[in-house]
Chain A
Amino acid sequence: MSQQTQHRHALEIINLSIALPNGVRLLRDVSLKLEPGEVRALVGESGAGKSMIGKTVLGILPDTLKITQGEIILEGQHLNMMTPWTRRKTVAEITALIPQDPLTALNPLRKIGPQIVDPLIRIRGWEKDRARARALELLERVHIRAPERVMQSYPHELSGGMRQRILIAAAFAPSPRLIVADEPTTALDVTVQKEILKLIRELQKETGTAVLFVTHDMGVVAKISQQVTVLFAGKVMEDAPTREVFTNPAHPYTRALIAATPSSADLDRPFSPVPTELIAELHAQVARDDALWQGKKR
């Protein structure tokens, strides 16, 4: 561990740009900070690049995509300056992932137990007994009855909600200091979604883990996060405390996103699509940015 005592961000991303091999940028100068113990929502529609940021932090970006510029700093350590091996080790040491699809995230041919315990032995270097005890502790913590039996089950024997709770337990088990949650409730029913969000919130508060929460749902953003980064076409539209975003959104796109999310409580508030003119204008803006950036490169 580092001996630094000064204040460090859990995660800091500075001017991150990611491009396809042909030079088309998918992420454009994204910067954000995540403090320890904080939940930051990354929100946007499909193609906004929100999942890509999470993947970049975890170092699981597909090989076809290249980081063209920018820095990722995990707890004060610059990932760019490390050798691949140390980077992998550092990322595994600090971070964990709660994936989107609880069905494909668990290996269908292996029992639940080893799927939680093995990473603890591998990453933390714990004894088998200690890792097992920790897994049981976490399974109980996510309200799984008969955790011993669940450890002996195969994924297909459990419901979607159960599997997602197991993945939350697996993510928190190694006591990570940063968790990337990649749309973890998109595949779930609303009532189950609420349970899962509540669990993530509770565990995160108890352990003081920072969470980067990727979602497309402004409703979920309002409930889970303290900070929001709104993305459009790989560009940051707004970066503000959640309370501010919902009481006084600064960017027209943020306002449009909120207005497009149906609210059953407030029927007076018009439920309106994001205006196509706004989308067109934002795209034009992005194109102008890209032209400038191309010019600067030459």
Chain B
Amino acid sequence: MTALFSIRDLHLSFPDRGNKPLFGPAPRIEVLKGLTLDIPEGRITGIVGESGSGKSTFGRVLVRLLDPDSGQVLFDGKDIATLDEEAILPLRRDLQMIFQDPMSSLNPRHRVWRLIAQPLKRYGRGGTKAQATEALARVGLPAAFADRYPHQLSGGQRQRVGIARAIALEPRFILADEIVSGLDVSSQAQVLMLLKQLAEEMGLTVAFISHDLSVIRHLCDNVVVLNHGEIVDAGPVAEVFENPQSEVTRKLLSAIPLPEMDDDWFND
């Protein structure tokens, strides 16, 4: 199994503006502390951790919305960590993203079909309404939705549009950042099943960021557990769940409230 992404010793820090001295630069907070991992091609890799673990930051480095301080991000053998904006642009077609909150990630002033068609146009792959409608059909939305605005859709429908926009470009990699955390359970399951099905059909590599281990267990092939910017556990999902290597993973696992009766749940 080949790795689509090879990440080597990735470091990233943000300036801590809250503690900025009157003069001089603000101190920096280390968010990613030397991550090294591979993301295998054609698989769904779950990235899990609590808030502040750096999982979303890591995801945004993969699609180069954020620039790392140091380290390598090899995409298909090419280091994209240091590429400038112009050089990254042609690669972006292969590096797509589905956002957590489709309400804010879909520009409220554009109609659905334009949201989907615009990236196609930018990459010289057409950009017609027909293409947009076709992408909508692939995510199970009727053609009539093409003329609507994002706020006229329900949460689950909006997230489908987000998926349609990402897959329309036929990328090799999709980053899914907490894509169901804002949805009701019923649409949650639908969106997840759709993503899984599309990933299989298209042979996509997916990095699935989530705080919900149950979801990861059902959806992913591999999992990486982050804690305070470090990898504490990684491997095939079944292995990590059955035999967690770190205390953090164990704690996360035991904290999930499962939808079944368990009188001892509070006691461990």
Contact = CB atoms under 8 A, between A and B. Distances in A.
**Residue with the highest number of chain A CB atoms closer than 10 Å, among B51, B216, B251, B260:** B260
Contacts of A160: 51
Given A45-B186, A260-B185, A218 B213 contact: no
Taking residues whose C-beta sits less than 8 angstroms from the other chain, chain B's interface range is 35 or more
Interface stretch (B77-85, B143-151, B161-169, B187-195): B187-195
A272 interface: yes
Contacts, number: 110
A219 B252 contact: no
B185 A274 contact: yes
Q: Dominant SS at the A interface? A: helix
Contacts of B259: 218-219, 221-222, 246, 258, 261, 263
Interface residues of A, number: 40
B184 interface: yes
A256 to B, nearest CB: 7
A219 B258 contact: yes
A189 B228 CA distance: 14
A264 B217 contact: yes
A268 to B, nearest CB: 12
B262 interface: yes
Nearest to A193: B255
A190 interface: yes
A219 B258 CA distance: 5
A194 B241 contact: no
Nearest to A194: B255
Nearest to A201: B266
A264 B237 CA distance: 11
Contacts of B107: none
B105 interface: no
Interface of B: 50-51, 155, 184-190, 192-193, 211-218, 241, 251-262, 265-266
14 contacts: A190-B213, A190-B255, A191-B251, A197-B257, A218-B185, A220-B257, A243-B261, A258-B259, A260-B185, A260-B188, A264-B214, A264-B216, A271-B218, A273-B193
